Structure 1
Amino acid sequence: MRDPYLYEDVPVLRNLLGIKTQELLDEAEADYVVYRLKDLVTHPLPGDYHTDHFLNMHQQIFQDIFDWAGCPRTIAIYKEEDVLGGQSVEYSDPFDIVTDIHHVLKNMREKDWNLMDTAELANQFCESLAALWKIHPFREGNTRTTVTFCCQFIDEQGRHINRKLFEDNAGYVRTALVAYNAYFADGSDFRKKEYLYKIVYDAFKNN
């Protein structure tokens, strides 16, 4: 099945800039996204941390690049991961995305964040962050959106986190999220939670 998000003549995501080479798109995307992310630090996105708020976060970050920014993907996705020996994390089915986001965010909002010590705070933040990321609601931009959204949420709970640590170690964070979610429908479980926990714990200790 052809990926409807790609141009018909080149394997590059359709974009508002009309760019058809991956290298140029990556450069342009980085420039626009960095600007939007910096703006979100000083001007948090208003909302109640329900599903629409999360979708709006993606729209805010990627509005300059994709006309589908803020819209859940309509196709299944499979991403080969070196850390999983070429396997992909089992992301949510397109038909389940909205329901899955609803359940994860409901659970996140109901936690007693202010009663937790730093170790438990880091543990519970990892659980919520990883569960929301595993849904992978968008065709592109899931890690940046999920991390930004969860950091804004926890800041608003009065439990401040060092976002720069995530920004400066973006590759590590994504690999850690993959390792955290390395369990599969057939019962196989290769999860390594300690990598994500380490950087999250450090981000709370050094905020």
Structure 2
Amino acid sequence: MESSYKRQDDLHYDNTTKQKRSYYWDTAIGLNKVDGLTPSDYLQELKQESIEGRKTYEEVERELGNYYGKQVLTPAALDTRECDIVSTRIARILESRDFVFSPITLKNIHKRLFDGLFTGKLAGYEGRFRDYNIEKAEPVLGGDSVIYADYLSLEDYLRYDFDTERKKNYAAMSPSDTAAGLARFVSSVWQVHPFVEGNTRTTAVFLEKYMLSLGYSNVDNTLFRDNSVYFRNALVVSNYSNAAKKIQPAFCYIESFLLNLIEGANKPLPPITLNLKSKRYGN
């Protein structure tokens, strides 16, 4: 019996595929800037071979494994290795058209991105929700931290966020209303911060896959490539409040970012400004 289904990796490789793959690689490498990670020159060589269709993502990752297996893995080398491998995995996930809207997918993306890369006390937390509470000093907040969800209720919070999102009818909304709706969803998921590390990269990949599943096939990946730090800061300020300083959560920044994605536009993003200090954070 012949299958009526086509394997995605058997589809014809043409100029359109080449262009998309280039975008996916740029996005993947750009997202690692969120954690201050930069790729090796070797990955840049492998990336080009992948874009030209001469190497699969599996082959790229295998060659990276061989390359780093011969290196002395100093802390700096570990960071570069993480950037190289996670970038390869992000590009591969973005190119694949599989997607299910579920917290399980969020967890699986985290597992696929970081499997085997966490070390020390983080080892074994790849694709696993955290079992302790966390905080993180944010430069955009003057060193303060967002209050993340309690680890005892992570699955409950995510279930609520996803159930609420399923009720929205984006087909009936204007682009600006869609951006506002997606902003609330992605902000809420990020605020839960279900993982010990890698939350922003995981959330960004999930968001891109989700938007593609909604039909936004013209998502401008250069926004993530060039503005990944802005994306994270926008999520931070959408989840921060300080009544004593008269600060409320600000969604305008993440909405502007998402509206650009929805419309395939490249409008200037408003600088993220809080009254904590006289500094501006943005591009």
Structure 1 residue 22, shift from structure 2 partner: 3.8
Q: What pairs up with 1:79-94 in 2 under 5 angstroms?
A: 79-94=136-151
Distance in 2 separating the partners of 1:43 and 1:54: 15
Match of 2:12 in 1: none
Matched, 1:202 2:254: no
Q: Deviations over 1:62-98 (max 9, x none)?
A: 1241332110011111101122121100001110111
What CA distance in whole angstroms lies between the structure 1 residues aligned with 2:203 and 2:242? 21
**C-alpha deviations, 1:103-149, integer Å up to 9, x for none?**
11111222101111111111111111111000001111100111111
Residues 1:71 and 2:128 are matched in the alignment: yes
Q: What stretches of structure 2 of length at least 5 have no aligned partner?
A: 1-67, 119-123, 266-283
1:5 maps to none
CA contact (8 A) 1:45 1:57 kept: no
Query: What is the match of residue 88 of structure 2?
Result: 35
CA contact under 8 A between 2:99 and 2:209: conserved in structure 1?
no
Are residues 1:53 and 2:105 paired? yes
Gap runs ≥5 in structure 1: 1-16
**TM-score between both structures, scaled by the size of structure 1:** 0.83
User: In the aligned structure 1, how far is the partner of 2:185 from the partner of 2:74?
Assistant: 35
What is the aligned-residue RMSD (CA, Å)?
A: 2.5
Give the structure 1 partner of residue 158 of structure 2: 101
Name which of structure 1's ranges 111-120 and 37-46 shifts more when overlaid on structure 2: 37-46
Query: Quick check: 1:176–1:193 contact (8 Å CA) kept in 2?
Result: yes
Tell me how far apart the structure 2 counterparts of residues 92 and 188 of structure 1 sit (CA, whole Å): 22
CA distance in 2, matches of 1:46, 1:192: 30
Aligned residues: 191
TM-aligned CA deviation for residue 185 of structure 1: 9.6
For the Cα contact (< 8 Å) 2:110–2:126, is it kept in 1?
A: yes
Evaluate the alpha carbon distance shift between residue 89 and residue 111 of structure 1 in structure 2; reply closer, same or farther with a 3 A threshold.
same
